[in-house]
Amino acid sequence: MAVEQEIVLTVRNLSKLYGPGCPDCLSLTGPEAGTNICPRCHTIVACNGVSFELESGEILGIVGESGSGKSTLVRCLYFDEDATSGECCFSAFGDGRANAFAQTSQARRYIRNHLLGIVYQNPLMGIKPHFTAGGNVAEKLLTADVYNVSAIRQRAAALLERTEVPLARMDDFPAHFSGGMQQRVQIAKALANNPPVLLLDEVTTGLDVSVQARVLDLIKEIQQDLGIAMLVVSHDLGVIRILADRTAVMQHGQVLEFGLTDQILEDPQHRYTQLLVHSTL
């Protein structure tokens, strides 16, 4: 029996240009052109007409080589950067039809604080090293309008426990933590507002292999326990293979191929994806 999946996030035609832009930027860049730099005006087209839908509770993978536009996509969705064009709709905002990119900064802040969590590659982008571990989680709770001190403390402790940060370290400063432990604190913080959508950008890149495996397990467990929809971005097909139900392959700012992860791994359609798959076997 097919179950109708709720769409929690819809992205349509998202483009992000760095540079002055000209009428030909989008058509003269991309996989076919073999570049993300417009030959006419030298604008960098970091994202070029990216579209996808994220279903509730699924993990959607975005894979592609360095410079393909993955981080830019995530930064636009978290409003760290302004998308140049395109639409982004959250089911939990404005009947699911309002374009988040076109909202006031106040409304975007609401979306970011209540509907989104983000985990950056560099833990120190997401957490403050000189706030305690608990304080970092508390900060996100405050932005999500949880003000009761004992409620904050309890919830922070529960989240840190969930991400396997020893409670004895709750009042310690992440500056002194290992990379893996910092990443766990960042994940706890990202989950604090119980977001329907979690964005994860190269979360295990730079961690030791054994630590990497444990963090990937943790992410999978959290997704299964909490049913949060996740956008998992990685240059590493191994990470995508472990986590993602469906995968989009990006190159030069565009989505080249999109489908079930198993299908993409077993029967890649594009030459680029074939190379990517074979290079990781």
Ligand X SMILES: Nc1ncnc2c1ncn2[C@@H]1O[C@H](COP(=O)(O)OP(=O)(O)O)[C@@H](O)[C@H]1O
Is 14 in contact with 73 (CB distance < 8 Å)? yes
Query: Which residue in 25, 73, 77, 191 binds Zn ion (CB under 5 A)?
Result: 25
Q: Which two tokens stand for residue 63?
A: 């894979």
Partner from Mg ion, ligand X, Zn ion, none contacting 179, C-beta within 5 to 8 A by type: none
CA 184 to chain centre: 15
Q: Of 78 and 177, which CB lies nearer to ligand X in the complex structure?
A: 78
31/37 Cα distance (integer angstroms): 11
110 binding partner (options Zn ion, Mg ion, ligand X, none; Cβ < 5 to 8 Å by kind):
none
CB of 67 to Zn ion, least distance (A): 18
Please tell me the distance from the alpha carbon of residue 79 to that of residue 66, in angstroms, as a whole number.
Answer: 21
Distance (Å) of CA 242 to CA 31, 107, 119, 220, 246: 26, 35, 18, 9, 11
Q: How far apart are CA 170 and CA 136, in angstroms?
A: 10
Is 18 a binder of ligand X (CB under 6 A)?
A: yes
Comparing CB distances to ligand X, the nearer of 45 and 152 is: 45
Among 2, 3, 66, 209, binds ligand X (CB under 6 A): 66
Among Mg ion, ligand X, Zn ion, none, partner that 146 touches (CB below 5 to 8 angstroms by kind): none
Q: Based on the shown chain and the rule CB under 5 A, indicate whether residue 71 belongs to the binding site for Mg ion.
A: yes
Q: Which of residues 71-90 bind ligand X (CB under 6 A)?
A: 71-72
DSSP 3-state percent helix, strand, coil across the chain (nearest 5): 40, 25, 35
Q: From the CB of 21, what's the least distance to Zn ion, in Å? A: 6
Task: Select the residue interacting with Zn ion from 22, 37, 157, 158 (CB under 5 A).
Answer: 22
Could you tell me if 204 and 212 are in contact, meaning their C-beta atoms sit under 8 angstroms apart? yes
Q: Which residue is nearest to Mg ion (CB)?
A: 71
Closest CA to 241 of 204, 207, 188, 197: 204
Question: Among residues 42 and 97, whose Cβ is nearest to ligand X?
Answer: 42
40 binds Zn ion (CB under 5 A): yes
Nearest to 45 by CA among 27, 59, 62, 63: 27
Residues that bind ligand X (CB under 6 A): 18, 36, 44, 46, 64, 66-72
Residues that bind Mg ion (CB under 5 A): 70-71
Residues that bind Zn ion (CB under 5 A): 22, 25, 38, 40-41, 43
